[in-house]
Amino acid sequence: MRGSRKRKPIVAQTRIPGEITTARESVERYWFKLTERDDRLARLVTAQDARTERHHRWLVFKQAFSPELVRLFHRSANPNVPILDPFSGTGTTVVECAKHDIPAIGVEPIAATAFTANAKFVHTLNPLPDIADCRDWPDVADRLTDPLHRAALIAAQASRLTANGSVNNNAPTIQAAFNQLVEIIREDIAHPLRRENLIICADGRDLSSIDDKSIGGILTSPPYLSRHDYTKLTNLFQQVYHHWYPQAPNMQLPAHPRSATRTKHVCNHPAVVEAANTLIAIDQSRLARVVRGYFDAMCVSLTHWHRILQPQSPVWCVMGGARFKDVYIPTDTIFADLAKREGFNIDEIRVARRVINAGRKFGTLQNVAPRESVIMMHKK
């Protein structure tokens, strides 16, 4: 009888007509068996605890993970061989390791951030100059020569910024923020870190200066694809640092639309090429270059990581997935695939939370949304 047959609802597979999704579907399907939701991690991939914990609270990146994650990682790593964080930001890994007397090295290209993190290993707060008559931060900066005082001013300026890097309208004056930071520093250094670790200001993609098999574990979080432009977010406190020290070249890896570069690609993973081709098809060549550049950086990094790690060493990598102009990029499962190719054993992909809440149909997969995950693996 006409009209009695139920019509199937028409569901757009993606929002891009004719988009080919085979390679990304396949990588998702392959790794789903090792992917597990872990609600405890939802807090540990955020900087919430760092805002109150000693030594971490001086300068907190919204994009940092919790010191608790570092403590969890310690359980699986050899405490006598250095831990590496090649994208170390404010130094959560390196500083937390120092608290537990575990050797660790960090790499961070933003000199102001690396400088402030390294200041945490200073044990003495020297007497401060009088800054009561200073009008703005350059006046204060002119009176500071001691590195720890300078770090306090950088952190004080950072504390006055909103999450997107501009000065908060309700921020305290720079003197008030500075005095507050000095009090925090005074309290914290009364409990000195148990060892002197180091954050190197350099490009974390190039680890050629680190010896083969000299690292006992890697805990890190590379910039999330598309989320944050670190150069912009940190610009106003970088200015404070560059009041005293010269500018260095920008070594940020391509993760944000403003950071697209034209380079020869080393990563030809089909899911990466597929996502980039879709972006090119919808006139988003710049975003396509970001995606290709991002995974090039991951491939180069993974090769170095495999070389410098001792056998059986654990790696935890906190990553965020992305949706660029409706083009879905499953960062964690692609990364797992790249790591497997490099010779790592993938233990688990723990999903902490969704980066974008609304899920979508993606090819033949249902309810897919970019995730924030911890890829847990080890060198065989």
Ligand X SMILES: C[S@@+](CC[C@H](N)C(=O)[O-])C[C@H]1O[C@@H](n2cnc3c(N)ncnc32)[C@H](O)[C@@H]1O
Interface positions with ligand X (CB under 6 A)? 61, 63-65, 86-90, 92, 107-110, 113, 203-205, 221, 223, 230, 251-253
Q: Residue 21 or 90: which CB sits closer to ligand X?
A: 90
Report in angstroms how near the CB of residue 92 gets to ligand X at its nearest: 3
Q: Residue 230 or 362: which CB sits closer to ligand X?
A: 230
Cβ(66)–Cβ(216) below 8 Å: no
Q: Residue 144 or 374: which CB sits closer to ligand X?
A: 374
Q: Between 270-281 and 22-32, two packed helices, what is the crossing angle to 10 degrees?
A: 140
Report in angstroms how near the CB of residue 132 gets to ligand X at its nearest: 33
Residue nearest to ligand X (CB): 89
Report in angstroms how near the CB of residue 73 gets to ligand X at its nearest: 12
Q: Residue 97 or 184: which CB sits closer to ligand X?
A: 97
Report in angstroms how near the CB of residue 83 gets to ligand X at its nearest: 13
Q: Residue 131 or 156: which CB sits closer to ligand X?
A: 156
> Token pair 């993973």 is at which residue?
269
Report in angstroms how near the CB of residue 101 gets to ligand X at its nearest: 19
Report in angstroms how near the CB of residue 285 gets to ligand X at its nearest: 22
Q: Residue 206 or 326: which CB sits closer to ligand X?
A: 206
Count of alpha carbons within 13 angstroms of residue 20, beta-carbon side = 13
Report in angstroms how near the CB of residue 173 gets to ligand X at its nearest: 26
Beta-carbon contacts of residue 249 (< 8 Å; ≥ 6 apart): none
Q: Residue 90 or 226: which CB sits closer to ligand X?
A: 90
